[in-house]
Amino acid sequence: MKKKIRIIIEPGCISCGRCQDLAPAVFDIADRARVNADADIQAHEEAIKEAARQCPVQVIKVQEE
């Protein structure tokens, strides 16, 4: 069984848009990064992890449950 992942966006987002560029089906940028409510997180797991790695302020955290 595949583990589920959970995305946490900590305070400090600078709204650079990198996460949205890497995973547009998951992230949306307004005043800060947000996870789209209807996003299929499991289907975009690798893009989400890449967005977390490339976040310039390291506020995107991915937890496996």
Query: Which pLDDT value is given to residue 65?
Result: 83
- For the chain, the maximum distance between any two Cα atoms, rounded to a whole number of angstroms, is 36
Query: Which pLDDT value is given to residue 31?
Result: 86
Query: Which pLDDT value is given to residue 1?
Result: 59
* pLDDT value at 3 more than 90: no
Encode pLDDT of 13-58 as tens digits: 999 999 999 999 999 998 889 999 999 999 999 999 999 999 999 9
Domain spanning 5-64 has what CATH number? 3.30.70.20
Q: Are 52 and 43 in contact (CB under 8 A)?
A: no
